[in-house]
Structure 1
Amino acid sequence: MPDVMSTLPGLVARVTRHPADEITADSRFSGLGRWGSLVAVRLLANIEQTYGVRLDLRDYLKIGTVGELADEISRHLAARATPAG
């Protein structure tokens, strides 16, 4: 399972044009500038392409920080890796 926090800041930086080295787990999306629904949709598409995880936009909008988003992605990855039944 990938270490999401090692790669997620780069994805966030790509869509927000905010320096990746300034994006931490505590970074709030509202403070990254250029944030809106179109940027969010682009980020979700990049997340799906990178991690194979599809997040619902409504659920995503409840997430406040990059670390919370990393945790959500990790939960989806762990659930997929756990054998059913």
Structure 2
Amino acid sequence: MSDTMTTLRPLVARVSHHPAESLAPDTRFTALGSWGSLAAMRLLAAVEQTYGVQLDLRAYMKLETVGELASEISARLPGGAQTHAG
């Protein structure tokens, strides 16, 4: 599991109220019972604050899984790294 995925799981868990250990790269946001536009926006804000990246809102809203979001974050990190130092 990538470092990005490892640090992303607790953020998704906090927003979705699902245990972090139950979240896998193929977990679909729509499968999270409490998922909706407010949760999506809260996660976007948490991701941008945590990783120091800016995600395009339209592209972000098209992401379907936790793994897709982790990949998008990784691509935006300096050097396209798989890690997050902060």
- Alignment partner, residue 28 of structure 1: 28
Find the aligned partners of 1:78 and 1:64 in 2 and give their Cα distance. 24
What TM-score do the two structures reach when normalised by structure 1? 0.85
Q: How many residues in Structure 1 have an aligned counterpart in Structure 2?
A: 80
Aligned to 1:66: 66
Relative contact order higher in (CA < 8 Å, ≥ 6 apart): 2
Q: Name the SS for the 1:61 alignment partner.
A: helix
The aligned residue for residue 5 of structure 2 is: 5
Unpaired runs of 5+ in structure 1? none
Deviations 1:11-62 (A, max 9, x none): 0000010111100101000101111111111001100111001112211111
Give aligned-pair identity as a percent: 61
The structure whose Rg is larger is 1
Tell me if structure 1 keeps the 8 A contact 2:27–2:67. yes
**What stretches of structure 1 move > 6 A for 4+ residues in a row?**
none
Contact 1:27 1:67 in 2 (8 A): yes
